[in-house]
């Protein structure tokens, strides 16, 4: 995607092409970190899971992604201005979390996912997991986590009796693009998925995904607070969803039903 250069103005390392760049603003040495990708989806379960990890571990924002294929918009979180597509790190757990509130245009997904994984490989990432929701009608009756993985990862995931393999399906959007890119690299990609309500925030689905992450990697995230604050989270996520929907209407090339990108 390009060579690593030094931006003298902000003293940040930049990796990628003019169409999509990862700007690293803080150094953090890790040993084979796990890359966790969380994007808006059914029930915004990925976003809720990402925010729980970031807040609980007080993760540092170490990089962000810039691309002309993302809407020109600013994101405010608790009154603080944030880059729309952010990467957080937590050295003690060897953990990287990628999250964004804004959609990536279809024609830019390849360059964005390639730039992200090029950068991640440089930090030693060998495994990438996507946390996502499967849209279902009504409140899900079965909260079991499903997985889809590359061949060499399936044996590890089969050992977890609380999860089931997703026999077939299609994951589109930036999450699907990232998983597709891992197939072409010396990197293992897989997805942890849970049924979720597409039209409203679903903290219970995020709890299921975080519990699965705890079992697989011993991440140690506590979901008790998430359980207690489920209603408050729903309200905040609904407000964010309305704002993002307004941006989508101004971007005709972005599908308005982008949450429904998991087909099974």
Q: Give the CATH number for residue 93.
A: 3.40.50.10900
| pLDDT tens, residue by residue, 84-127 | 899 999 999 999 999 998 888 899 999 999 999 999 999 999 99
Poorest-confidence range of 162-176, 195-209, 227-241?
Answer: 227-241
Residue 128 lies in a domain: yes
Q: 83 pLDDT band (50/70/90 cuts)?
A: confident
Instruction: Identify whether 122 is part of a domain.
Output: yes
Handedness of CA 84, 82, 227, 225 (dihedral sign): positive
Specify the pLDDT at position 49. 95
In a domain, 251, yes or no: no
Dist. CA 24–CA 10, nearest whole Å: 10
Instruction: Look at residue 254 and tell me if it is in a domain.
Output: no
Looking at the domain assignment, is residue 259 inside a domain?
Answer: no
Residue 252, in any domain of the structure: no
What pLDDT does 86 receive? 94
User: Is 33 within 8 Å of 119 (Cβ atoms)?
Assistant: no
Tally of domains within the chain: 1
255 assigned to some structural domain: no
Q: What confidence category does residue 37 fall into, taking pLDDT thresholds of 50, 70 and 90?
A: very high
The residue behind tokens 């393999």 is 165
Under 8 Å CB-to-CB from 168, ≥6 apart: which residues?
264
Range of the domain at 158: 5-244
In a domain, 257, yes or no: no
User: What does DSSP say about strands 85-90 and 80-82: parallel, antiparallel, or unpaired?
Assistant: unpaired
pLDDT, tens digit, 9 for 90 and up, residues 133-177? 988 877 777 778 999 999 889 999 999 999 999 888 888 889 999
pLDDT value at residue 261: 47
CA atoms within 13 A on the CB side of 50: 29
């Amino acid at each position: 995607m390009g060579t690593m250069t030094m931006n003298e103005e902000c003293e940040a390392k930049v990796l990628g092409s003019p169409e999509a760049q990862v700007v690293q603003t803080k150094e953090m040495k890790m040993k084979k970190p796990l890359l966790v990708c969380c994007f808006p989806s059914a029930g915004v379960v990925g976003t809720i899971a990402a925010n729980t990890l970031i807040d609980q571990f007080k993760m540092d924002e170490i990089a962000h992604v810039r691309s002309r294929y993302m809407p020109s918009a600013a994101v405010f979180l608790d009154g603080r201005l944030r880059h729309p597509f952010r990467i957080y790190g937590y050295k003690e757990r060897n953990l990287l979390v990628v999250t964004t509130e804004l959609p990536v245009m279809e024609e830019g997904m390849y360059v964005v996912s390639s730039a992200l994984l090029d950068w991640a490989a440089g930090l030693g990432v060998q495994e990438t997991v996507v946390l996502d929701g499967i849209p279902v009608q009504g409140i899900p009756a079965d909260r079991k986590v499903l997985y889809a993985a590359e061949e060499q990862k399936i044996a590890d995931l089969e050992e977890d009796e609380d999860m089931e393999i997703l026999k077939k399906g299609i994951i589109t959007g930036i999450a699907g693009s990232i998983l597709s890119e891992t197939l072409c690299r010396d990197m293992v990609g897989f997805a942890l998925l849970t049924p979720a309500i597409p039209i409203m925030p679903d903290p219970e689905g995020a709890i299921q995904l975080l519990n699965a992450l705890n079992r697989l990697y011993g991440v140690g995230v506590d979901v008790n607070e998430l359980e207690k604050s489920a209603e408050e989270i729903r309200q905040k996520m609904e407000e964010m969803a309305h704002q993002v929907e307004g941006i989508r209407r101004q971007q005709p090339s972005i599908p308005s039903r982008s949450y429904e990108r998991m087909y099974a």
